[in-house]
Amino acid sequence: LSDSVVSSRLSGLHSTGPPVELASARRLRLENERLVAEVARLRRLLLSGAARGEVGSEDAAIEEEARFVALEMELQHSREVIQALKTDRKRLKAEKFDLLNQMKALYSTLEDKERELRDFIRNYEQ
């Protein structure tokens, strides 16, 4: 059915009838709009496939499937790499924290030794 026929039928439904028919007409109109959008999307998809020379070709379908599998594998590999990077980041944060604590301990020890040396020098001079 063409859009004009559907529109005329829907407009006829709008002008007469109980609310049930109006709700039915609304559902029909929404379904029609959805289907028109779907047809337009499929046409664009078909035209884009034709532009690439893929329409009606089994080889193209096989190539598309292979490309899909390759992309899935790449995605899985990327996820694994991201997980490894997250693990490394956590490990490096822990090492950084450990090194910071070691540096604090070294500075504390150095300050203690410096204080002991000053006390020794002061006592030696007396």
Residue 82's pLDDT is what? 94
Residue 9's pLDDT is what? 57
Residue 23's nearest CA partner among 37, 13, 12 is: 13
Please give the Cα distance from 11 to 34 (Å, whole number): 18
Check: pTM over 0.85? Answer yes or no.
no
One-letter amino acid for residue 11 of the chain: S
Residue 58's pLDDT is what? 63
Q: Average pLDDT of each block of 10 consecutive residues along the chain (126 residues)?
A: 56 55 79 85 75 60 79 90 94 97 97 96 89
Please give the Cα distance from 57 to 63 (Å, whole number): 10
Residue 5's pLDDT is what? 56
Residue 65's pLDDT is what? 77
Tell the residue number behind the tokens 């910071």, with chain if given.
100
Please give the Cα distance from 55 to 45 (Å, whole number): 10
Residue 105's pLDDT is what? 97
Contact 33, 21 (CB under 8 A): no
49 class by beta-carbon count within 10 Å (0-12 exposed, 13-18 middle, 19+ buried): middle
Tell the residue number behind the tokens 């899935």, with chain if given.
72
